Amino acid sequence: MKIFNTLEPAVRQNLLVLFAVGLLFWASLAALLPTLPLYIRDVGGTKYQVGVVIGAFAIGLLMFRPWLGQLADRRSRRLVLLIGLAAVAIAPLGYLVTQSIPLLIAVRAFHGLSIAAFTTAYSTLTVDLSPPSNRGEVIGYMSLVNPIGVAIGPAIGGFLQAWAGYTPLFLLSAGLGFAGFVGALWLQAPKPIVQPLADSTRGAFWRLLFSSRLRTPTLTLLLVGLAFGVLSTFVPLFIQEAGVRLNAGLFYTVAAAAGFSVRLLTGRASDRYGRGRFITLGLLLYAMTMLLLWSAHSAGVFLLAGLLEGAGTGIFLPLMVALVADRSEAHERGRVFSLCIGGFDLGIAIAGPALGFIAEYVGYRGIFGLASGLAFLSVLVFVTQCSKTLAYSLQFSLGDGSDLYALPRS
């Protein structure tokens, strides 16, 4: 982490504050991962309703991403960050006061606003504060908030729920979010570069999505989002259905530990050797995760799958953020991140209700088999479509090729 010693003191301080806030956000969100599906089931939800409620998270993501991206570009990255932290603090209180499935869907959709705002602002602020030549390295380090938060949150949340019930768990999640909101007030974010009026129209905004430089990253994120939606929604229930004696929180903790380890290495390496080969590796590991879960019958296999999932996510997501940053101008970063990461959100939105319906017929094991197919498809799409031609795509995704869509660094 020597790169941080070379930064200006004000920049270094802002990055440290941002990192601390990120830890609190992800810990708040992740504390509910292993227990919220169980809570929905315990208040009377069917397999399909569990999928619908969990999937409703992405309604807030999809509804608010475009607006939040423009708000980050036009007004303030910090304002969008605060919106996300406020939502993550309020939503757990909503779960606490209702057991109605329709109301839980509404609360879950509001909860989705938190990640739509926070991830857009956090990614954009990290890129704004990063030296262009070391962008991948700084993004890799700053993305450590996810595996650390996901390591702490589910472990504490799972054991707290088992020991004291759901009420203390929801209060803990809300408290962590509130602490993050207070911490973000100390952040001094750089002012965004306001884009020309012609670039701010709704048509131009959505045309970004279909541009050749962003289309493949968005589609790849969509496919991985579908697989992730299955994993985040159904792993706790699948472990119980399989009759395996394993605290589901440990699955997420192992995944977080693996994600932490790889992020220390791959971000810096991608600055030197290119993003493509590492993104491909991350996608392959994710596909292998789903294949393992499909065949899992023991705690050891579930934990091995968690290890591979953490490594795959730890490589793929930060470097996809770096790739998208390489392909975007400073004045459009908020909108670009909101759209591209919106592909991931759409996958989660589809996975919950659609695959939850399928799970009624094929069981949880069956949908993990389907998720493995989607994950392998994401590998194929990225390897063959990530550059201007098939030959360049193969060279960039598997070898030493440079990114032909990368813009001059700013």
Tally helices (H) and strands (E) across the chain.
17, 0
At residue 318, the pLDDT reads 85
- Give the rounded distance of the alpha carbon of 406 from its chain centre: 23
At residue 198, the pLDDT reads 45
Contact (CB, 8 A) for 406 and 325: no
Contact (CB, 8 A) for 128 and 73: no
Q: What is the pLDDT of residues 294-347, one digit of tens each?
A: 988 888 999 999 999 989 988 988 888 888 888 888 777 778 877 777 777 777
Q: What is the pLDDT of residues 9-28, one digit of tens each?
A: 777 888 899 999 999 999 99
Amino acid at 395: Q
Over residues 130-151, the mean pLDDT reads 80
Class of residue 283 by CB neighbours under 10 A (exposed 0-12, middle 13-18, buried 19+): buried
Contact (CB, 8 A) for 386 and 393: yes
Give the fold, CATH level 3, of 8-187+204-398: Growth Hormone; Chain: A; (1.20.1250)
Q: What is the pLDDT of residues 151-200, one digit of tens each?
A: 777 777 777 877 888 888 899 999 999 999 999 998 877 666 555 544 44
Over residues 73-82, the mean pLDDT reads 88
The pLDDT of residue 256 is above 90: no
The pLDDT of residue 63 is above 50: yes
What are the structure tokens assigned to 39, written together?
A: 């809570």
Q: Record the pTM.
A: 0.73
pLDDT-derived band of residue 4, with 50, 70 and 90 as boundaries? low
Q: Sketch the domain layout of the chain as residue ranges.
A: 8-187+204-398
What are the structure tokens assigned to 10, written together?
A: 């004000």
At residue 197, the pLDDT reads 43
